[in-house]
Amino acid sequence: MAVTEAESRAMTRALALAANGPRGVNPQVGAVILSPDGDVLAEGWHRGSGTPHAEVAALSALAPGAARGATAVVTLEPCNHTGRTGPCALALIEAGVARVIYALDDPGEVSGGGADRLRAAGVSVESGEQAEAAHALIGDWLTAQRLGRPHITVKWAQSIDGRAAADDGTSQWITGPASRADVHRRRAAADAIAVGTGTVLADDPALTARDGDGLHAHQPVPVVIGSRATPADAAVRRHPHDPLFYDTRDLRAVVADLHSRGVQSLFVEGGPTLASAFVAAGLADRVLAYIAPVLLGGSRLALTDIGVSSIDGAVRLDVEEWLPLGPDLLAIAHPAPAASAHDEGAV
């Protein structure tokens, strides 16, 4: 049965509702309950871990029996497991819902399977409505579910000859204002931003996402990785969020812990040592290389040892986009499948 115009409008509304929910361990999900005539009966969205899921939030706004014969329009396949809350598929069945339309399948081994349960109970189910828009909303969460860690972007700025700084260590500013503004927009889109202790000690970064003279509404959680102590008066300690400190070189342990905290996307902006470590570990899902038309020469390379000893071992990249930013050029790329097939940590 084709999706009706009223059901499609309801999905657009459900996606808008989903965006009200917090990013974290659980996905952002919205739901709209329609009468058999296509009128909106109730709406709901997931408000965070431990709270009712979107479908149950919408159903709870209705009187008992009011959802019988109704259609539930949901941005994610109704779950099929009992966690802090019960299975939404069962709640819809018990409410008498006759039809369910959802955008994306639930990727969870435990939580998935809600559509099959609904069909087995005689409920009409349609999937894929506005899937692209739903993926744009929770794509990072889906990636985190698949990998068991956040989606990781590794960023650096370099001269056209591949240097991150002059030989005396100075690096401000290799790139121009347009590139720096682009970096801050991308910081604001991430859940967390990571640097090494060497960067903290050398540059004292605030790790905020700035918008002109102010701050973006959303700020990434600052993450500092390394064994050296961060000074008590460091700028990162004045960040709007409490910094997370990891006294370890085990990057997989770091990203696993961040995942457990609900971090879906990590923006790595440390110096060459940290960037190289993430690339070498196969933990770079995306690379952002800001290239400035300057020559520096010397030994301060943007990347150091990434475990490549010969050309056969090169980390090949697929370029998604070459983006001009004033006089600079941004390369947006991800590891090519053939180069990373041996490594589950790369996409």
Q: What is the pLDDT of residues 33-58, one digit of tens each?
A: 999 999 999 999 999 888 899 999 99
Q: Specify the pLDDT at position 299.
A: 87
Q: Calculate what percentage of the chain has a pLDDT beyond 70.
A: 95
- CA 336, 339, 342, 346 torsion-angle sign: negative
Please pick, among 5, 7, 43, 55, the residue that the annotation labels catalytic. 55
Q: Is the pLDDT of residue 21 over 70?
A: yes
Q: Specify the pLDDT at position 341.
A: 40
Query: What is the C-alpha to C-alpha distance for residues 40 and 34, in angstroms, rounded to an integer?
Result: 5
Tell me whether strands 317-325 and 40-45 are parallel, antiparallel or unpaired: unpaired
Q: Specify the pLDDT at position 139.
A: 87
Average pLDDT over residues 124-139: 94
Distances (CA, A) of 57 to 99, 119, 131, 136: 17, 22, 22, 23
In this structure, are residues 308 and 315 in contact, taking their beta carbons and an 8 Å threshold?
A: yes
Q: Specify the pLDDT at position 111.
A: 61
Average pLDDT over residues 27-36: 96
Burial 29-59 (b: 16+ CB within 10 A, else e): bbbbbbeeeeeebbbbbbbeeebbbbbbbbb
Q: What is the pLDDT of residues 158-206, one digit of tens each?
A: 999 999 888 887 777 889 999 999 999 999 999 999 999 989 998 899 9
Q: Specify the pLDDT at position 145.
A: 86
pTM score, two decimals?
A: 0.77
Q: What is the CATH number of domain 148-340?
A: 3.40.430.10
Lowest mean pLDDT across 7-11, 80-84, 264-268: 80-84
Q: Is the pLDDT of residue 119 over 60?
A: yes
Q: Is the pLDDT of residue 153 over 90?
A: yes
Q: Which fold has domain 5-138?
A: Cytidine Deaminase; domain 2 (3.40.140)
The band of 346, judged by pLDDT with boundaries at 50, 70 and 90, is very low
Average pLDDT over residues 315-333: 94
Query: What is the C-alpha to C-alpha distance for residues 123 and 77, in angstroms, rounded to an integer?
Result: 13
Q: Is the pLDDT of residue 69 over 90?
A: yes
Lowest mean pLDDT across 23-37, 110-124, 220-234, 239-253: 110-124
The band of 110, judged by pLDDT with boundaries at 50, 70 and 90, is low
Phi, psi of 182 (to 5 degrees): -65, -40
Residue ranges covered by each domain of the chain: 5-138, 148-340
The band of 339, judged by pLDDT with boundaries at 50, 70 and 90, is very low
Q: Calculate what percentage of the chain has a pLDDT beyond 90.
A: 71
Active site residue 55: yes
